[in-house]
Chain A
Amino acid sequence: MLFNSYFFLLVFLPLSLLGFFLLGRFGKSVGANWLAACSLFFYAWWDSRYIALLLGSICVNYLAGSYIASHAGKIKARTALIVAIAANVLLLGYYKYADFFVTSANAVFETNWPVLGVILPIGISFFTFTQIAFLVDAWAGKVREYRFVNYVLFVTYFPHLVAGPVLHHKEMMPQFDDGRNYYARAENFAIGLTIFAIGLAKKVLIADNLSTYANPIFSAQASTPSFFLAWGGALTYTFQLYFDFSGYSDMAIGLSRLFGVRLPLNFNSPYKSHNIAEFWRRWHMTLSRFLRDYLYIPLGGNRHGATRRQINLMTTMVLGGLWHGAGWNFAIWGLLHGGFLVVNQHWKSICRRTPFRLPPRYAGVFSVMLTFLSVVVAWVYFRAPDVATANRIIMGMAGSAGAALPDAMVTRLGPLAQALDHVGIKSYLGGGATFFETWCWIVVSALIAFLTPNTQEIMRRFEPALPDESHVGFERGHRLAWMPQRRSAMVVGLLFALGVLALSRPTEFLYFQF
Chain B
Amino acid sequence: MLATTAVTIVVVGVFNVFIDPLGVFSSPRIAGISAIKPYPDHHREFVRYASARHLCSDVGIFGNSRAEIGFDPESIALATQGLSAYNHAIPGTSATTSYRQILWLQAANCLPMKIILGVEFFDFLGGTSSRPLPTLRTDPAPRLDVRFFAESVFSITGVRDSLATLFLQRSRYPATLTERGFNPLYHYIPEVEQSGQYVLFRQRAEENFRKWTHKPLRLRPTDGGVSDDEQAVKAILDTLAQAGAKTHIIIYPYHAQIRMMIERLGMGGLFSDWKRLVFAVAESQRSRGNSVEVWDFSGVAPETREAIPIKGDRKTHLAHYWEAGHFKKELGDLVIARVFGDQRNFGVKLERDNIDNWLLLDRQRVQSLLTTPSPLLDEVNDILSDH
Contact = CB atoms under 8 A, between A and B. Distances in A.
A351 to B, nearest CB: 48
A497 B8 contact: yes
Given A493-B8, A494-B8, A501 B159 contact: yes
Contacts of B155: 501-504
Interface centre among A6, A430, A492 (most CB of B within 10 A): A430
Contact of A489 (B1, B8, B151): B1
A496 B9 CA distance: 10
Contacts of B4: 489-490, 492-494, 496-497
B3 interface: yes
A429 interface: yes
Nearest to B203: A429
Given A408-B195, A411-B195, A496 B202 contact: no
Interface string A399-436: 00000000110011000000000000000011000000
Interface string A471-506: 000000000000000000110111011101111110
Contacts of A197: 1
Contacts of A193: 1-2
A190 interface: yes
Contacts of B158: 501
The contact size tier of chain B is: 20 to 34
A40 B152 CA distance: 33
A423 B202 CA distance: 25
Contacts of A430: 203, 207
Contacts of B5: 493-494, 496-497, 500
Interface string A290-333: 00000000000000000000000000000000000000000000
B9 A497 contact: yes
A493 B158 CA distance: 19
A426 B116 CA distance: 44
B252 interface: no
B156 interface: yes
A395 B4 CA distance: 49
Contact of A429 (B9, B151, B199): B199
Given A407-B199, A408-B194, A408-B195, A501 B2 contact: no
Contacts of A492: 1, 4
Contact of B150 (A190, A493, A498, A504): A504
Contacts of A412: 194
Contact of B151 (A194, A407, A497, A504): A504
Nearest to A432: B195
Contacts of B9: 497, 500-501
A502 B156 CA distance: 5
Say what secondary structure dominates the interface of chain B: helix
Nearest to A429: B203
Contacts of A504: 150-151, 154-155, 157
Interface string B157-186: 111000000000000000000000000000
B149 to A, nearest CB: 9
Given A408-B194, A501-B9, A501-B154, A493 B199 contact: no
A256 B158 CA distance: 32
Contacts of A429: 199, 202-203, 206
Nearest to A204: B156
Interface in B1-28: 1-6, 8-9, 12
A347 B1 CA distance: 49
Interface string A187-203: 00010011001000000
Contacts of B199: 407, 429
Nearest to B201: A429
Nearest to A408: B195
A462 to B, nearest CB: 15
Interface centre among B1, B4, B5, B195 (most CB of A within 10 A): B1
B1 A407 contact: no
A496 B202 CA distance: 46
A453 to B, nearest CB: 20
A493 B5 CA distance: 5
Contacts of A489: 1, 4
Interface centre among A498, A503, A504 (most CB of B within 10 A): A504
A10 B199 CA distance: 50
Contacts of A497: 4-6, 8-9, 12
Contacts of B12: 497, 501
A490 B202 CA distance: 52
Interface in A348-369: none
A412 B190 CA distance: 13
A412 B207 CA distance: 24
Nearest to A498: B156
Contacts of A502: 155-156
B1 A496 contact: yes
Interface string A377-408: 00000000000000000000000000000011
Interface string B62-103: 000000000000000000000000000000000000000000
B55 to A, nearest CB: 29
A497 B9 CA distance: 6
Contacts of B157: 504-505
Contacts of B151: 504
Contacts of B150: 6, 503-504
Nearest to B146: A6
Contacts of A500: 5, 9, 154
Contacts of A6: 150
Contacts of B207: 430
Given A501-B12, A501-B159, A504-B150, A190 B1 contact: yes
A487 to B, nearest CB: 11
B1 A194 contact: yes
B4 to A, nearest CB: 3
Nearest to A205: B156
Contacts of B159: 501
Interface in A202-235: 205
Contacts of A493: 1-5, 8
21 contacts: A6-B150, A411-B194, A412-B194, A429-B199, A429-B202, A429-B206, A430-B203, A489-B1, A490-B1, A490-B4, A493-B3, A494-B4, A496-B2, A497-B9, A501-B9, A501-B12, A501-B155, A501-B159, A502-B155, A503-B150, A504-B155
Closest 5 CB pairs of A and B: A493-B4, A497-B8, A429-B203, A489-B1, A493-B1
Given A496-B5, A504-B157, 12 more contacts: A6-B150, A490-B1, A492-B1, A493-B2, A493-B4, A496-B2, A496-B4, A497-B12, A500-B5, A501-B155, A501-B156, A503-B155
